[in-house]
Chain A
Amino acid sequence: MNNVWILFKRELSSYFATPIAYVFIVIFLFISGIFTFYLGNFFARDQADLLPFFNFHPWLYLFLIPALSMRLWAEERKSGTIELLLTLPMTMGQAVSGKFLAAWAFTAITLALTFPMWITVNYLGDPDNGTVLAGYLGSLLMAGGFLAIGSCISALTKNQVIAFVVSVVVCLAFILSGFPLVLDFFSGWAPQVIVETISSFSFLTHFNALSRGVVDLRDIIYFVTLIAFWLFANAIIIAIKKAD
């Protein structure tokens, strides 16, 4: 546990030692603002909630999270520091979770910096702050899901561009599996069970419930299990494929 914390600190401070942190935060805040106010019709809706803000998060994460996760392991491979890290007295589980938690904490910081949005909606109206909080929780869990996928894929290659592109495609699959367009394609001929299974794998299905303020334990379990699964795969991939 101590090792996870030590690695967590190192990783998190390395985001801020490079321009990555600042570029990521600024772009995230800028784009989420544009989406909320222009595409989401925040004002025209005339409702005191943050739905137009949260609704765009899956699409924002689709590109921004892989950009953050692509370097997690690919960079260690490229620079050879993976050899240093894995010959230090820590377990593979500690190394994988320390790096993941740092990246996740960084997205949490970014998400926390959207607080002016929350202030705005409270200033203009009287929103249900419990719903807002559930939205933030859902968004954070979804970011963790994207990150775990990205971290695992980053472990497969030393090329960050490949890690980025493949992560975007895999994450897109996880979003689209809940999209009506995709589900309609299956519902015409496949049994209901399959359609439901496909839809239950989607980030959208679970995130939409949370962003509307419905905190269902099953949605939380879904994201936690998803993260655990991809991180486990991540550890196995590195154990099998260390050298190249």
Chain B
Amino acid sequence: MAMVEIKNLCKHYGPFTAVDNVSFDVERGEVLGFLGPNGAGKSTTMKMVTGFLTPDGGTVSIGGHDITKNPVAVKKRIGYLPEGAPAYPDMTAQTFLDFIAEVRGLTGNEKRRRVEETINKVNLEGVVYQPIETLSKGFKRRVGLAQAILHDPEVLILDEPTDGLDPNQKHEVRALIKEMAAEKVIILSTHILEEVDAVCTRAVIIAAGKLVADGTPTELEARSPQHNSVTLALRGTDKKTAERALKKIDVIKTVESTAETENVVGFRLYPRANRPMVAAISQLAQEQKWQIEELHVHKGRLDEVFRTITANQQSLT
């Protein structure tokens, strides 16, 4: 049984359907990226998974326990960073984390050790005695993250964990997520697609409340029209001859000429049925005695896939 099982989850706000029949499972060791345009239902789904909102339909079960039937037991196993990393502004980071630790059932030395460990982990050492309202956005986010990982939860749910952080801070948070990934279930929402490549082992895309794609980042990238296309620049030939020769290779579907300078001609080549073209191209180049200036295989870009999928969805509704 998967650690997190989400079945047919629905949520309505009046006539508006925020989440529409969303189902997916997440296993231990997976880092699931939850993608979607703003207002697609990412946060609403996470709020239901963490037991904040009650679903209008469907079930969420964590480690075999239903969240609506056994909320306290399930909440114990979850660490949650809500959107915007809310915390009590008048508390210091230290007293805030002490409070969370106590609610999480930690006491005495164990509590002290865990709070200190977590503070070190998210690099809060310098600011623990400052009221949270005086902290910068990056530190506030880290306090929120510390609060979520304090009790070493089996399931970690992070709503936009790197939103508003600078590139260095983003890198730190991602490193932290990767470090914890092996023995946990991590679900994180984001609309930064590079983040999916950087930390996620799997990504689901949600648009207008519906689940529209589910796969590894590589699988999703393969859906891009650019996937496996090749940029090629040749020296020692002219455009027409090269184009004619390239078109004869049967794995190449289309040849687009891109740039032409004095000695170099450029092409963008698209494969037939996603088949690899590089071997055939280099063989041809050898036979024709062309010099290859540039040869680059495109993996496809996640943001293109994202745009294609979510735009389709929106035009349907």
Contact = CB atoms under 8 A, between A and B. Distances in A.
A89 B91 CA distance: 20
B76 A83 contact: no
B238 interface: no
Contacts of A87: 50-52, 75, 78, 80, 82
A91 B89 contact: no
Interface of A is mostly: helix
Interface string A150-192: 0000000000000000000000000000000000000000000
Interface residues of A, number: 22
B164 to A, nearest CB: 14
A89 B76 contact: yes
Interface stretch (B100-108, B188-196, B226-234): B100-108
A6 B107 CA distance: 11
A175 B53 CA distance: 37
Interface string B184-211: 0000000000000000000000000000
Nearest to B144: A84
Interface in B56-111: 71-73, 75-76, 78, 80, 82-84, 86-91, 95, 99-100, 102-105
Interface string B252-268: 00000000000000000
A81 B86 contact: yes
A102 B115 CA distance: 25
A118 to B, nearest CB: 33
Given A6-B103, A83-B86, A87-B52, 11 more contacts: A6-B102, A10-B99, A14-B90, A17-B90, A80-B86, A86-B52, A87-B82, A88-B104, A89-B75, A90-B103, A243-B52
Interface of A: 3, 6-7, 10, 13-14, 17-18, 79-81, 83-84, 86-91, 239, 242-243
Interface of B: 47, 50-54, 71-73, 75-76, 78, 80, 82-84, 86-91, 95, 99-100, 102-105, 131, 147
